[in-house]
Structure 1
């Protein structure tokens, strides 16, 4: 109690009296704004408060379905924990739709009332914690735009439960609540009768309907921002006198319009547009006509049923055009501009025949997924000219797609077994699971007046049986598989679009090549085996349509070993770095706009478990990624190429084989040989410098690659220009790294034993003579060193230049020894903590294994994001020297640094949580049990200098 009051006093001092007050606190007042460039939004704080509260009260005038969708999974988790809340809202200006009130009734742990007052327009959120309240008040209603995108001002305040201000808000809320109308089905029915439906229209990709054939009509249609950039990329390829280019564009981002704009800019005499399905032709023809203008007769179709072969702009199916008699009826130079849609299929003979036969002035291929699993090199086919590439995250950021609310829900398991097994099919469609599916699709809902859903199943058998059972429960559904004809598929899609169907259930036939913009709910009832397929299926609902504001994506997550692919697919992070993938689960701010990604608690844990056990660096995985990148760029990649092309983390490659040269040998590349010593130096640079955790070493390497000698002062000056620390201890540490005197004997031997860089009598840095000659004589070796320097600079961008350690980055014990300027790597003997050189790193594994020895099974525990209850080693008393170094840290000017990892499954690296100091009032001797005796130990509260980021705290603590 006293500690919380003291923290609040510091918060008040810093927030309202003196911003330079040295004592910070997690209770300080905050201005909450939405700022995409800094990945900040109001929703994050709102969710953080929900996760830790004991009850909550919202007073908001306006609520949208999308706003409610951002919180549904969190509210369900609170329900599972027995946490309840109240929402007070209104009918002011009839902004709230009847449907949103029905959605509110689905949330079992929230009581809702309608304020009985004219002009109700409040926006406040109150959260009750154990002895205090948090309050968010300002301009944000419970809408997705207000919580994530709009320019809003909200103030977050914290008050002790006895504080006057919180009682004013609390009492006002309760007064309004007492006079408010409870939300019921009957009330909604009455409201629906009075409700005046406002005009609603989703912003169209290209506003307006242009009639007529005049050129001025077509010129009134403008490309969007991303299409302008892509057109510029195409023009750059053409100016380089290349005649082929590839566009990689996410599903729904307007590839057809983009290609039409490209054609409009060059006005070819004749154009050919090739697609793989006949139903796409008419839409493509219409879109081109809108953009290009001209006479209707200029635009023709070549398909099984139509043969308008004399048209200036011809739209043909690949099946028809690839027929020898049809193709040869055209002169090879007939078309000066050819476009091929869904060109990732170009490995098939029909596509290749067309591409090889025709000789256009320019050939443009378009695809959302250029990656191939059959070995065909699409990039080579287009001479490695990728004119432009836009992936899912960028398309969302530019508002080119419908926002989505993805939620990973917990699938049922049967006696701990995985549901994908064929012999468990009966469980897949058992009544209990069907009920659960229906419960979830109802709870998470959809945008719009009626559901238009697509359900991806794990087998044809499941799709048919589940469709039957859903129909028996009152839904209108149909199962479609590869056995159904194109005509049947078209008919059922039309029924979905006109409202005759609620859902189409399928396996994989709708992954791509089908355009159903009205889809407002995508349900995944199969395990994720491919991130590409995941994005294809997600993309089925991302096309904009005037009947929806967003699409709901419900992913049923079982105990699948491939669950780790879900955060990879959503984030587009293909680094194969487990820490990166975990961070994509911890922090989903990479999803831009009003879209959100959430997981129910059990589903989230299943993904963490999958990440822990995943073999992400298996040589087959790395080899496939390597081949894919080599195919993309048309040469042997360097490490920097992996980063540039969003592929594997270069650190993963060097950790696998010690250095990239060795990795290339494993890839069976014919490369210049390196001597044993060159290999050793390259290994040292790869394992110690590449990670970029300290910029000093790479700066010195960079200088020496350009200069035979570098004076101590010029090195120091360069560091100062980069705002790097230049104190004596840090610079001496850099020297010891390059002398190899910092490292253990095993590492020193591995790195070649001889100093790499020496400081001569004139205080100049220079290569050792042997290395200098190697760098001069071997161009390949020099290229590899340059490559490491390049990547290290890139890696360093995520680290602070003026601090030895960057909060929330991960470090090993060895890293800590180096970055805290210890003379030697003592990582193997640090164990839990070690006071040395006026520093004391503390390393904590928060969740220890069940079989850990009782004498080292310390009960370290976060009390809150600012306080850690911490134990010393056993057999220590308050008077032990090392304990006194910690207790008297402030007086002795010892810096205590706190490192924590969730469990041993995270490997040897720990999250750095910042500096800490002991609360002397909490220091006490206690005991812990060993097998047969009690051992003395000291317990104390560690006060963390800056309260821990809530997302990291939740991850470690849960």
Structure 2
């Protein structure tokens, strides 16, 4: 009988029989369909076992020839089915294993045999091995020597290199690098000052050797240890494990290292090579030759003296992270497309808001050709000093004296105010000076740090005195506790937000361990709900009970390692609740206090803050006083003692504990979960924590958050998890709920019912609505409108759903013009013809003969006969135009093309634009490569996640971004370098052939729609490896847009 447990086993007839024998009442059987992309690998591995068993039976007769004959019979049988040219694949009857092909010119056979005895690894090239340092193991350093001597390319990545470890391989590395056709690349760091200069000096003098170093060890803490050996024979090997290049690690320590082979673990070798290639091409790793030993020794000394006042910007140039580039992209969109020049950025403290402002100014400075006066306002001297240093580093080496400080003892020299970093206190004390001396347009670019203070009188003077070209506000806390909105100062919107998960992934914030604890002491389902929140008085009474206190203290003692040493913020619902909890904790012996708005003066608040930092107080119970503008990096625990209705405030509160601090391992979060009111939203809270994912938040919770940033975890007690999932399920916008919310929208919101208003109020993606029906049909089902659905109504309605991915401003404008002209349109340029054909197929899907249209323009004009759908189309286009989230750019080729680089297009739209689909007939091919001879162009259509499974290690390394400008692409299986197709890729530039790249993350998104492709533009051949398929590295003319970076850069972190 089958044993209970988990399996990953192909169901055979024998296994199915065993499954059928299991009592249905006693056992649950879980099965899944064989994935199309992984079927070949799974079935082949199954056949290996069957064939191996058969060969063992034949082997019992001690006859190798019979085993070979059986293999050849199998090959011939397969060839009859799929034509594999079996004569090439038949096993030689002599039963030999090829072990080497060597150039014998100038050498005797004996010399070559001796050479081989030194080179061939003792563990072979096919079977993987684990080195543990046990008595039965062979020497790992001796095996690495053999790998060095027998390989053609070496890629090493280690966090530190010591001479004691490197000298073990001194002779082998010298012998290897003397060869003309080899390559040696090594990546290391200055982390902890452990890498020795002598080791790098030796490596740098080896021929055909390149070294890259990470000097940014405070954020790029590389701990990987891998030694990769790539051979022209494609028998590649790699050591992946715990040993750095030191003698103790390689010869003495209890280190475990896995030696894998490409014959047995191809996907692991490929991932190791791909990850190394990504690091190598990353701006975070600098060529050792640039600064040489001098820079390296200075950086090592800096690492050994972490408290040194030497600025890190002396050692590396600041580069924006991908998520910061996405923010800059959104700022550009706001200004160039929407015309909004007063922009607000929201991000947790410590995630690089100042860096973003510096890069934003950098772009502006160069666009204005240096005529860009800057005013940077903050409330502390330390922030201003750091900001000026950051701006200098971003602007470059010629700006080391850039900017004047005006704060405390600092006064601008020579009265130079053009680039001023000033405190808000100084600004107010000198406001008459500014008023009298400087015109309103004196400053072109103003940055206000802690912009949530903009409503205060001390900050209003800035808005009164100056009218800059660009006003940039930075804040971690956009929701003020006094209820005043700061959005009117910033075009009534947040221009961009830094996602929490991005900052956590890059280790800019402390990792967290988030515990959801079941709270059955209260039931909040029937608590009064007003204006989007619980009634405070009723909530206070329910939460302030001894029974609940006992639960909380029990959880504190269980989850906190040392409660009496913790530095904990506890968020409460009211002053009475905070006071009650503080007294309850004090009563059981904890050092606790409470603090709320209006409770005590600033001096008292600062004293409590200092007491918490010093550990004199361990628990501070607060209502809103620590929500905004307070920075205490030492906080190591946050406890939510109340449900926080506002997502923004929740993130502000969580952010209080996410600052990095010396000795702080992680943030512990305790969240007490009870049954919530139907209007309470658990989903958005956990989506914000978990980050962007192609999976629903319900699935993330059910699978215990498999996609959290490294080092973070969310653990839910079972009943708490049930409460949360039940809440999310009832909050899901299915067709029934959509109809209900549409029907009651005007009554509940007192706003006009439009598609945009509805989506904005409920914070919904437009795909949520169109996953179920059109807006018009939902309105009709809700009883708000009535109309007939005759003729082509349903055909056109389906077509509207195929438009909601559009983010090309040019295409959107084209459709707007169509609507304004009652769908009567005569194209006056080639791009318009392409747009017209794209739009026709978006709506109709089939050629004109299918509908008896004489032209596509007749088909387009037909839409005007359905006014309900015309109005809906207007709303769709208006919504899409007002919710663009990245910029696009036109492309100039040697022929006209309507597509914009970085815009999204469906496969049908792409084929229309390039003429493969015509008015008469849609192009039928579903291949990932489309050749267009008439335009001397080839289209590469790439799906990054080919498998329908959540994670597929065997298929996810076919296509991916190495860096922002290099994309690794795998050709079709039949393509070899010597074939006409392979040659056309290699020589496409000399043949003036355009190769254009289109990339999407997955086949279908979580809403059930077929995913469109991002157009990444032209690419140029760099290099290739392999055959049938070829692995080609393409260089993009335009960098991969930040919005696609995380999906495309599978080897990247962040």
Q: TM-score of the superposition, structure 1-length normalised? A: 0.46
